[in-house]
């Protein structure tokens, strides 16, 4: 199964039309305020030394380049050729590598894992921008990439983000300038329940090692100058020894304890 052609074309047209200036895309906040905060939560769970880092759904590569300042080998992977062209053009120092990847295609994911071995995966805000039928395959891809030794950091908008986005979309003056193109290209954020993401992770054969809440910062501001923040949930997942990874009533285990 692969992503729909409509969805692929929507992302290509979005990145072809998006302004090139830093911060011009709604979710493309400064890496120190996004990936930087996430790494403080992610790095304590990285137990294998020297694994490559894959930024899955890298877009124009802002966060990828930030990761490449900190890890020896970083690969930005995305469905969109136009996005990857942006990422390569902005990465003048060639800090990272960039690959086109349809992560719903198991053969493409398996080929990348065969090349790189186990990796750590950083995935920010991909599921809610994906078709519902693609969400489990995407997490299955994450599980395939991390293998036995890697870890994944997954962050998604929480249910509490819905009224915030709805208020922005329905504002009498129209949505904010940086959000309007998202709707115009047909890639408006979808709804992913708070319980769905850890459930996808467990079905993929991973264990939730840690989780929490953290605002996802945008590049847009309210008329009174406040940065728009979207409530989000994050988790770290991986494979661990069987005695730690036990399940109770199908619920994931964090460090040997039930979640939920």
25 domain residue, yes or no: no
24 domain residue, yes or no: no
Q: What is the pLDDT of residue 252?
A: 47
Q: What is the pLDDT of residue 256?
A: 35
The residues near 119 (Cβ < 8 Å, ≥ 6 apart) are: 51, 52, 53, 54, 75, 113, 145, 146, 147, 150
Please check whether residue 97 is in contact with residue 76, taking contact to mean a CB–CB distance below 8 angstroms: yes
Encode pLDDT of 45-60 as tens digits: 999 999 999 999 999 9
Encode pLDDT of 63-118 as tens digits: 999 999 999 999 999 999 999 999 999 999 999 999 999 999 999 999 999 999 99
d(C-alpha 71, C-alpha 66), whole Å: 9
Q: What is the pLDDT of residue 244?
A: 52
Domain CATH number, residue 198: 3.40.50.150
Residue 254 reports pLDDT greater than 90: no
CA 25 to chain centre: 15
Range of the domain at 203: 5-18+30-41+50-258
pTM score, two decimals? 0.90
Q: What is the pLDDT of residue 255?
A: 45
Please check whether residue 230 is in contact with residue 179, taking contact to mean a CB–CB distance below 8 angstroms: no
Q: DSSP letter string over 31-71?
A: GGGTHHHHHHHHGGG--STT--EEEET-TTSHHHHHHHTTS
The residue among 246 and 201 whose pLDDT is bigger is 201
Residue 192 reports pLDDT greater than 80: yes
Residue 77: both structure tokens together: 């992977």
Percent of the chain with pLDDT over 70: 90
Q: How confident is the model at residue 188 (pLDDT cuts 50, 70, 90)?
A: low
Instruction: Express the helix, strand and coil content of the chain in percent, nearest 5 each.
Output: 35, 20, 40
182 domain residue, yes or no: yes
The CA angle 177-14-1, to the nearest 5 degrees, is 135
143 domain residue, yes or no: yes
189 domain residue, yes or no: yes
Burial of 260 (0-12, 13-18, 19+ CB in 10 A): exposed
| 125 phi, psi to nearest 5 deg | 65, 35
121 domain residue, yes or no: yes
Residue 133 reports pLDDT greater than 80: yes
Q: Pick from 210, 203, 182, 255: which is nearest to 38 by CA?
A: 210
Q: How confident is the model at residue 174 (pLDDT cuts 50, 70, 90)?
A: confident
Q: At what angle do helices 5-17 and 81-90 cross, to 10 degrees?
A: 30
23 domain residue, yes or no: no
Residue 186 reports pLDDT greater than 60: yes
**Sign of the CA dihedral 245, 250, 203, 44?**
negative
Q: How many domains does the chain have?
A: 1
Q: What is the pLDDT of residue 250?
A: 45
Residue 243 reports pLDDT greater than 60: no
Helices (H) and strands (E) in the chain, counts: 9, 9
Burial of 228 (0-12, 13-18, 19+ CB in 10 A): buried
216 domain residue, yes or no: yes
């Amino acid at each position: 199964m692969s992503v729909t052609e409509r969805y692929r074309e929507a992302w290509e047209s979005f990145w072809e039309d998006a302004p090139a200036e830093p911060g011009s895309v709604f979710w493309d906040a400064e890496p120190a305020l996004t990936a930087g905060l996430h790494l403080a939560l992610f790095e304590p769970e990285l137990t294998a030394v020297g694994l490559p880092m894959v930024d899955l759904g890298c877009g124009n590569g802002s966060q990828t380049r930030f990761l490449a300042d900190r890890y020896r080998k970083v690969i930005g992977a995305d469905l969109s050729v136009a996005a990857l062209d942006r990422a390569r053009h902005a990465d003048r120092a060639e800090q990272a590598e960039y690959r086109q990847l349809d992560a719903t295609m198991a053969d493409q994911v398996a080929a990348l894992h065969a090349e790189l071995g186990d990796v750590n995966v950083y995935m920010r805000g991909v599921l809610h921008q994906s078709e519902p039928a693609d969400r489990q395959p995407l997490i299955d891809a994450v599980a395939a990439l991390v293998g036995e030794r890697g870890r994944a950091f997954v962050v998604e908008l929480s249910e509490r983000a819905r009224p915030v986005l709805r208020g922005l979309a329905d504002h009498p003056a129209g949505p904010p300038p940086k959000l309007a193109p998202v709707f115009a290209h047909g890639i408006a954020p979808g709804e992913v329940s708070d319980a769905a993401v850890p459930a996808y992770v467990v079905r993929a054969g991973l264990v939730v090692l840690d989780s929490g809440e953290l605002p996802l910062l945008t590049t847009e501001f309210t008329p009174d100058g406040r940065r728009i923040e979207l409530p989000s949930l994050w988790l770290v997942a991986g494979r661990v020894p069987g005695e730690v990874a036990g399940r109770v009533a199908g619920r994931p285990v964090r460090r040997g304890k039930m979640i939920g």
